[in-house]
Amino acid sequence: MPCWPHVAKDAAELGTQMSIQITHVRYGSTRKTEDEIVRYKWHGLETNETRDNDKPSVVAWVEGGGKAYVGSGSGRSQVGVVKPSNGQPYLHTYADGQWNNNLLSLPTF
C-alpha cells in the first residue's frame, strides 16, 4: 500500500493514518488547471509538519486511503483522485456533494 514519503523516519509508521491540508500548489506549465499541478505543499494535521511532494506521490497516497483536504473549518473540502480516460490521474476537491476546483485558488510556491 502506498504511503507518504519522508514524513517520518519510516513512512510506513504513518501510512494512511495521517491526514494533510494542502496549502500551496506548483504548476508545470502556464495553464492553471488541476491536471497541470506538478507539486503540492502540505501541512500534516497530526504531525504539524510542513512538506511538499510531487503529484504522483500524493495521488498514490490518496488512492491508498490517505486523507487530504483544502481549507479548514466549514470551508474544508476533501481531496479525491480523478482518473481521466486519457492522461495521468490528478487531484480534485469535493465539497457539498460536488466536485469543485478549490486547489486552483491556493497560492503557488
Q: Where are the domains of the chain?
A: 11-104
**Which residues lie across from 9 on neighbouring strands?**
none
* Segment 13-30, tens digit of pLDDT: 445 678 999 999 999 989
pLDDT at 63: 92
* Segment 64-109, tens digit of pLDDT: 999 999 998 888 999 999 999 998 999 999 877 777 889 999 999 9
pTM for the model stands at 0.83
Q: Cα 46 vs. chain centroid, distance in angstroms? A: 16
* Segment 26-42, tens digit of pLDDT: 999 899 999 999 999 99
Closest CA to 72 of 22, 13, 32: 22
Q: Across residues 37-65, what is the average pLDDT?
A: 94
